[in-house]
Every structure is written in C-alpha cells, then in structure tokens.
Structure 1
Amino acid sequence: MAALNYKHLHYFWTVAKTGGIARASERLHLTAQTISGQIALFEESLGYKLFKRVGRRLELNDTGRMVFDYADRLFTIGEELEEALRFRPGGRALQLRVGVADAVPKAIAYLLLEAALAMDQPIRIVCREGKLDVLLAELAIHRLDIVIADSPMPANVEVKGFHHLLGESDTSFFATPALARLYRKDFPRSLDDAPFLMPGDDAALRPRLLRWFEKEKVRPQIAGEFDDGALLLAFGDGGAGIFAAPSAIAAQIKKQYGLVEIGRTDAVREQFYAISVERRLTHPAVLAIQSAARANLIGNAARNHGTGVLTDS
C-alpha cells in the first residue's frame, strides 16, 4: 500500500459525513467528477473498495466504515485543536459561526444572538441563513458551531446532532392599522375570511396555526405563503394580510414597522432550538445565548398568557 494521502482521506471523510458526492462537492467547492476521481484513486492506493452502491446512493461497506472511524477521530481531533485555539484567552476575538434556518424570524435570531455580543470577551459572529437541511450539512462538517431552528433535530436527516431547547413564545397576530380596524374586533373570530399570510411548509408554526384555526372554527383566506420570514414580514408591512409572529418580539414589530397587534394566543407556541454536534453545549457564546434565551423567551411567554384583543401600549 502506498503512503496515506491525507487529502484523499479528507475527501473520503467528507463524502461519508455528508452522505454523498454531490453534497461533498458543495462543501469542498470542487466538482463531483473531481471528488469521484479522487475517491477512486484513494481506493486504488488502499487496495480496497470503500463504498457500495445501493440504488442511486453510495453506502460505506465494512472496510469503508473502519476507515471512516479512523478518519473521523483524526479530523475531529484537528477540529478540537482549532476550537481550542479559537477559545484561547488573550487571543483573537472569539468566533461564533451560526446557521439560522430561514423559517426563524430575523428579530428572534437577533434577540438570541445579542447575548453573545454583550459578552466581556470580544466576539465575531458569522451568520449563515438557509434551509435547515443545508445548514445541518454545514454543521456536520464543522463549518458551523450551531444552527438556530424552530424545530428539533429532524429524524429523517443523515446527520448526527443534538437539539437544545432555547425557549418558547406565545404567538401574536399583526396587521397594518387599516387592516387592524377591520379585523381587530372579536378576535379570533374576526380572522374568519380575513386575508392571511401563511408560513411555508418548512415552518414548524404552520401546522400549529392550521390546527388552531380548525379548533377556533375560523377559515382565513390565504393571501400568500412564504418560506422566508423576512419576506412574509415585508408583505405584512405592505398590507397584504394579517400574519403571525412570536409574542416575544411584538414590541419590536410594532415600533419598527408601525404595525398593530390585533390579538395573541398561548394555544399556539413557537419553540426555538440550538442544534449542535455536541451532546452538551460548551461554546462560551452559545452558553450565553442559552442563558439569555431562557429569560427572554420562556419568561416572555409566562408573562403574556391568554387569548384576546390587545390594546396599544
């Protein structure tokens, strides 16, 4: 066997970790053909096949699993060294790499992350926004420290991770002053036949809203569906319809956009999670976020029980 080529080993590890050559090519910024060729050279140098094809997917064979175990330990140790140097007191600013699922309201993301900015230690936050499955792939290869999501770790993704509840909030309903005058009275029955902006299929809030509408026997007219929370807010600000958002950020939405909170309910609650590859959170900035979130989210929900019409403060 030829001397071990660590570049080829890293390519192999990335393919196995992300679940396929296509995803690995995105992570490594190389073409799928290049990675496929490098894997073939690696197998040739070892004298063993490492993958078996199952339908259109590649799966590790017995030898592949053994090689992966060694590679995983090797590269994990390297990443632990990198983390140790990043957290070294007196060194450069602490870096926090965060993925924010696009279903999470931007104001909630800021509410959570501002605790890290308030730390005594200088910090540099790198934020990435996108679909949850894409962010989890980034997390799996340690390009992110945590992913902030509105749901726990999905069971149908081939990524090893752990979710940590940060907090939860009641749900409030917002509209422009003109719409609020029409639909504020007799909430929530006033939502029947009202124009409503619905979160997209990936949002954990969507099925909770639909169940609540059914329970309250109201059928809003869906004026639009949005995967991106910021786009939904922009349409709401433009008067396209009523929309729901966490009560924890109600004051900010009213102040920043001049919108009116027409009602809220504690029967629909949004939960927010930090997803990490660690069973136990250790990053100092993430621990600060977790601590602050328990006060700002769970505390907010506890103070704002009830369903009903709101008066402006």
Structure 2
Amino acid sequence: MKGKRPNKFQQAFILILLFTVLMGFIGMIQEFLIALVLAAIFAGLLYPFYHKILLYLKNKSALAASIVLIISILAVGFPLAALTGMVTNEAIQFSQKTTPIVKEILNDEFSISKQLPSWLPLQEKFDSINETLLKKASDATSAIGSWLVSSLSSATKGTAGFLMSLFIMLYAMFYFLINGQQLLASLASLLPLSKKDYNELMNRGLMVTKASLKGIVIIGFIQGLLVGLSFWAVGLNGPVFWGSVVFLLSAIPGLGAPVVWVPAVIYLILTGSIAWGIALSVWGIIVVGLVDNLLRPWIVGNDAKLPDLVILISILGGIISFGPVGIIIGPVIAALLDTVLNIYKKSFK
C-alpha cells in the first residue's frame, strides 16, 4: 500500500479539505491580506537591490534585508507621511473655501438674470433657476469637500489597526526578501503549470508592477510637481493638494493631469483671469503634456503592454475595491488576467 496513489474519492476529499482549511485561513487573516500582497509586491521590486547588498555583506541575509527596509522607510515612508499631513491640511481648506467661491461666482459672473434687460418677463424665471443652481452647486461642493477630508483623515482612524497592518507588511517584506525564492519554488511545485507558463505568469506580473510604479512614482512626481508649481504661480488654492491628486491620477496615460488643470483653466477664464488661464493651458498642453508624450514611453518602456482602457478601468476598479493601494493592485490583477488568458489560449489551441 505504501506509495500507492490515492483513489478519486480520496483525492476529492483532500481537495475539499484543502479548500475548507484554506478558506478558513484566508478568513482569519483577511484584515492583513492587502498588507501581505503589498509586502510581496514591494519585496519583488526590491529584491535586485537586496541581492546586491546580500553579495556585498557576504550572504548575511537578515542584515541585508534590515538595511533594505530601513532605506525604504527613510526614502519613502517619512516623506510620504509629511506629504499626507500637508495634503490633509489643504483638503480641509478646500472644503471650507470652495462653497463661498462657488456662491460668489454664481451670484456675479454667472447670474444670467443680471445680463438680461430689466423689461424682459423672463428675469424672475432665471432668478429662480439661478437660486436652484446655486443651492445644488453649493451642496455638491460641500459634499465633495467633506468627502475629501473624510477620505484623507480616515488614515488616522483606527491607529492600532493601521500600525498592526504596517508591522505585518514590514515583517512580511523582511521574510519575503530572505525566503522569497524558496516560497516561489514551493508555489511552483503546487500549481499544475509548466515551468515556462509559471515563469511567464510571475515575470509578467512583476513587469507590469514595475511599469505601474514607474508611471505612478516617476511620471506622477514630475507631473504633480509641474501642476502644483503652476497652480501656486497663478494663485490657485491648494497647490500641494492638487499636485498630489495629479500624482495619483498620472497612472492613467493621457487622462490624469488634464482632469485637474483643464477645470482650473476654465475657472481662471470665467473669473476674469484670462491671461493666467491661457498661460496655464499652454503650460498644461506643452510642458505637462510633454511628460506624457515623451518621458512616459522612455521611462516606462514596453514593460506593460496593456491597453490604456484596461489600465483605466483596472485602476478605478482597484481603488473602489482596495482603496488607494488599488492603484498598484488593480493593474497587477489585470496583467495576471492577461497572462492567464494567453496561457489558456496556447493550452487549448
């Protein structure tokens, strides 16, 4: 009996047992799943850097992983925390100032009744429409401002849970850097995939993750800086906040930055700052647009061969499903789906 393969009943029982235990385990750690996924992604991206330090330290893996984590925290964690504080402060100011500004615009420049001769009988009707528009616009801007403040301040709620997730992510990164290769080998032995298909699945996910982060970090930083500086130059409120919004939206090629600076141009022109509006539009089209048209293909390259539409819906879907980290997780899932479909197509030809 020794070495005999289990029969179909035993195999089915083992699969059901495995599925049940696995679902129980996932349910138990579901609060930390995003932290673990991010840890795996960041560990994969930092592994070449870790490997160089490991060779320099003559295979002292724990020390090498610790150095990588410390450098990552100093280079990314502290600046990100400071930026979050500035963005939250400007979001609060945006929430407080937007409604009065909209009221002023609608009561002055956009009051249709003031542009009509007093003898027209339609004046009272337009006054009524203007009051309705003012109320709806004020309600909308108040809601948007409140949502921005609550979204940004939510990071400070549940501090114990946040710190626990952060600890899990950092500890998991440390573990994945040291034992990542063994874990990948174990995973490969469990999956019913050929070595070629497995390598394609892993490499494709890693390539698209790198491309997404290049688009977010490098392109986003440049475009966010350019838009923030231009907003500050023309006297618009919240340059740091809007630069941060561009930083996040820049992951969407050709669409991210214009979503912010085009409404700003319209606002400047409609409020009488025509020269500043034209200047900002020229800056947005030529300088900010240059980053998308020239720098993005050069920096990001062909790592991610996903259509722009897929990138857009995967980012938006990722944000809705996972929160801000969906900007990273969304495109990775889309890339893995694309790779699995390619494997499926080759397997069933």
- Fold conserved (TM > 0.5)? no
Q: TM-score, normalised by structure 2?
A: 0.17
Structure showing greater Rg: 2
Specify which structure has the higher proportion of helix: 2
Specify which structure has the higher proportion of strand: 1
Q: TM-score, normalised by structure 1?
A: 0.19
